[in-house]
Each structure stands twice: as C-alpha cells, then as structure tokens.
Copies of this chain bind each other. A is one copy, B any other.
Amino acid sequence: MNALDRMNPADARDMIRRGEWTKPTSGLANGYTQGNLVVLPKELAFEFLLFCQRNPKPCPVLYVTEPGSAVPALVAPDADLRVDIPKYRVYRRGELIEEKTDITDLWDDGMVGFLLGCSFTFEHALMNNGIPVRHIDRGCNVPMFKTNIECVKAGRFEGPMVVSMRPLPEKDVVRAVQVTSRFPSVHGAPVHIGNPESIGIYDLYQPDFGDPVQIHEGEVPVFWACGVTPQAVAMHVKPEIMITHAPGHMFITDVRDEKFGVL
C-alpha cells in the first residue's frame, strides 16, 4: 500500500477520475485532508451555510463553491467535484435513488458544493501522538450514535447531533482533548467524555450507524461531533435534489492536515 499512501492528491484524484479507483479513500494520499461532500440547490445554500456556521463542531466548513462552479478553488484548484470522488449518492426529496461515479449529468448552474471536514484528519493526529484508534485497528467503520443534543436551528435545517465514539485508555483522554482541539475545522475537541447516557446513548454496542467496537477495562468512551450530522439534517428538509459522497468515499484536497491546526 506504500505507493497509494504516498501518492500526491492530484494523482489520487486523477486515478479516481479515470474510474480506476471506486473504493473508499482511507489510506490514499496520507497526510492530505479529505472532506465530506454535500451538494444542494442554491435556494438552500444560505440556510445550509448558516446551519454550518451555527454548528461548527458537527459541520466544519472547508470550502463552499460559487453557485454552478464545481471547482473547490481554495483547497484543490485543478479538481472537479463532479468526477473526483469515487462514489456519489443521489437523493431526491430525501430518498436515496442511486449511487454513481460521475455526477456531471446532474450538475447545473444552480448547484452549490459544500466540502466539510472529516475525522480522518484528527485520527491521524491522534495516531501520531501514539493514541490508538480502535476502529482503525479493527479495520471496521467508526461507531456513530444519534444524541439528545439538538443542533442550533437555521431556517429549515434542524435535528439532533450525531457523534462518533472512540474508546481511549484513561491515560490518553487529556492528550486526546489537546490534540483534537488544534483542529476546529475538522470537528475539533470532543463534545462529551465518559457518560453516554447523559447525551442519550443507552447501548454503546448498538450504534445507529457504522460498526460496534469493544470497550476494554480501563477505557473511557470519548465522543466527537460527526460529519453524518449535516447530511442527516439536510435530508430531513427533503430537498428536490441532494448529492453526497458515499460513506468513506471522500474528496481528497491539496491541503495538508497540519494546515488546519490552529496552533
């Protein structure tokens, strides 16, 4: 996997664009920030951007395109959001109607693309600090839960925050707060530590999305705001059309993870 690890982002996107990579992007071009995609009609763009501004932990905005433009100029100027993601999901009125590898035929002058920060960045930072990440060690998806924490409403967008959970050894909890606090634009510090019930989670082995992971003796469950939140909230509005990446099939930017560290 070394060649893929070390691939530069432009080459990785090129491979994806040519249809030679249709799998999840984890492990591609390591060290470069990957992002969640949400595409909405421009009529909803202000409300959705306002929702993100009011809820920066679940919805950290990396970039928003001009209406009609598919170029994320500030984070990957030679990229095209219509073809540079391995797999897309197309929703109509809140229902998933198809998955495809190219959305050029669906993109028109009314489309606005939102790239939102993803947990890969802070997971790299945790691992660089010697803090283990259970679902990566196990090769499964991170467990995610709906909570009783209501997002701040903006226009028609509202709903509960979704969180991801990583069990950490007690001795690593403080360092994990410090490390992830450096990255407010990719979910930042945890939203809760220690008592799942107080945020409305009653069974850690029954996640609402993703896979369950084992919590060992001497470990504390730590919860971060999750990038599934904005998609869930947008879907709740049932827009005429909404396009997202398929889970794990992210957009790879030209920006190094460390660029998003505030200190």
A contacts, CB < 8 Å to B: 42, 45-46, 49-50, 53-54, 61, 63-64, 66, 74, 152, 154-155, 178, 181-182, 184, 188-189, 262-263
Q: What are 18 of the A-B contact pairs (CB < 8 Å)?
A: A42-B46, A45-B46, A49-B49, A49-B50, A50-B64, A53-B53, A54-B63, A66-B154, A74-B152, A181-B262, A181-B263, A182-B263, A184-B184, A188-B262, A189-B263, A262-B262, A262-B263, A263-B263
Q: Specify which chain B residues have a CB less than 8 angstroms from the CB of A152 in the assembled complex.
A: 74
Partner of A262 from B50, B61, B63, B184 at Cβ < 8 Å: B184
Shortest Cβ distance from residue A147 to the other chain B in the assembled complex, whole angstroms = 19
Give 9 A-B pairs besides A178-B263, A262-B263 with Cβ atoms closer than 8 angstroms: A42-B46, A46-B46, A50-B64, A50-B66, A182-B262, A184-B184, A189-B262, A189-B263, A263-B263
Shortest distance in angstroms between A33's beta carbon and chain B's nearest beta carbon? 16
Which of chain B's residues have a CB closer than 8 A to the CB of A189? 262-263
Contact yes or no, A53 B46, CB < 8 A:
no
When distances are taken between beta carbons in the complex, the residues of chain B under 8 Å from A46 are: 42, 45-46, 49
Contact check, A54 vs B74: say whether CB atoms are below 8 A apart. yes
Give A67 Cβ to nearest chain B Cβ, in Å. 8
Residues in B with CB closer than 8 Å to A262 are 181-182, 184, 188-189, 262-263
B45:A53 contact, CB within 8 angstroms: no
- Separation of A45 and B42 alpha carbons in the complex (Å): 12
Q: Nearest CB to that of A54 among chain B residues? A: B74
Instruction: Find chain B residues with CB under 8 A from A154 CB.
Output: 66
Residues of B contacting A178 with CB < 8 Å? 263
* A39 and B118 alpha carbons, distance in the complex (Å): 32
Complex interface: chain B residues within 8 A of A45 (CB): 46
Smallest CB–CB gap between A20 and chain B, Å?
A: 32
Nearest CB of B to A42, in Å? 8
Give the residues in chain B near A188, CB-CB below 8 Å.
262
Interface centre among A42, A46, A63 (most CB of B within 10 A): A46
Q: Given the complex of chains A and B, what is the CA–CA distance between A155 and B50 in angstroms?
A: 17
Cα–Cα distance between A162 and B76 once the two chains are bound (Å): 26
- How many Å from the CB of A190 to the closest CB on chain B? 13
